[in-house]
Amino acid sequence: MSPTLPIPAPSCGGNSGINKPGLETLSYLQQYFCTSLENISENSSCKVCPHNWYLHKQKCYWISTEKLTWNKSMEDCTAKNSQMLVIQNQDEMAFLENVTKPGRLLWIGLRATSSERKWTWVNGSSFDDKLSSKLDPAKANDCGKLNGKQIISESCIIPTSWICEKKVLVIQLEVCPISPFTFKASMNTE
């Protein structure tokens, strides 16, 4: 479910809009999470993540400090309205290497399918072999771990830290005078 701010987003020129207290709420959010209010212009926006999550491009990442099995890790990500990490490309791998401690193993959303013995991400997509040359052939009850620049396999029942991901939240303030103190504002995810 996409996070939204419960403030109406009427079109410019309409009869409805956000009154000054609504604008102040959105302006506060933008100031707190984004930039100074002095820089607000028409259609200004910023990308934000929850507290203790890392922002990179269109995703937010959370890295656990405790250790759980792969299944329990996946449940924890779901409880955070997110999913276990699905790595899209080498740029994302490089970012993750920079935000994780060297030698730290982390569960990611990669698992060997039991029937086909093939690596599959939690979103149903297939693993791209170009992401890691060290990943062993898929075996029953194996899951993927991030190990620096590489993805390795391990039994899913070994307690390990993990990474969750979710889409970034975009806070957008569109100022369009409808009356002296009425403005259009919205908040959505990309």
Q: What is the pLDDT of residue 157?
A: 97
pLDDT at 130: 84
pLDDT by position in tens, the chain (length 190): 334 444 444 444 444 444 455 556 666 666 666 654 455 555 567 788 888 999 999 999 999 999 999 999 999 999 999 999 999 999 999 999 999 888 899 999 999 987 778 899 999 999 988 888 778 888 888 999 999 888 999 999 999 999 999 998 887 766 555 544 334 444 445 5
Question: Which segments of the chain are extended strands (E)?
Answer: 44-48, 54-56, 59-63, 83-84, 105-112, 119-121, 142-147, 150-155, 161-167, 169-179, 182-189
Q: Which residues contact 175 (CB under 8 A, 6 or more apart)?
A: 40, 41, 42, 183, 184
Distance CA 50, CA 169 (A): 9
CA distances from 56 to 79, 119, 165, 167 (A): 21, 25, 10, 10
* Euclidean distance between CA atoms 17 and 163, whole angstroms: 40
Domain-wise residue ranges, the chain:
20-49+168-189, 57-166
- In the numeric block, which tokens belong to residue 97? 């290497």
CATH fold of 57-166, please?
Mannose-Binding Protein A; Chain A (3.10.100)
SS3 96: helix
Per-position b or e across 50-76, b if 16+ CB within 10 A of its CB: eeebbebeebbbbbbeeebbbeebbeb
pLDDT of residue 170: 81
DSSP tally for the chain: helices H, then strands E: 3, 11
Contacts of 96 (CB under 8 A, 6+ apart): 61, 85, 87, 146, 163
Q: Give the pLDDT of residue 133.
A: 75
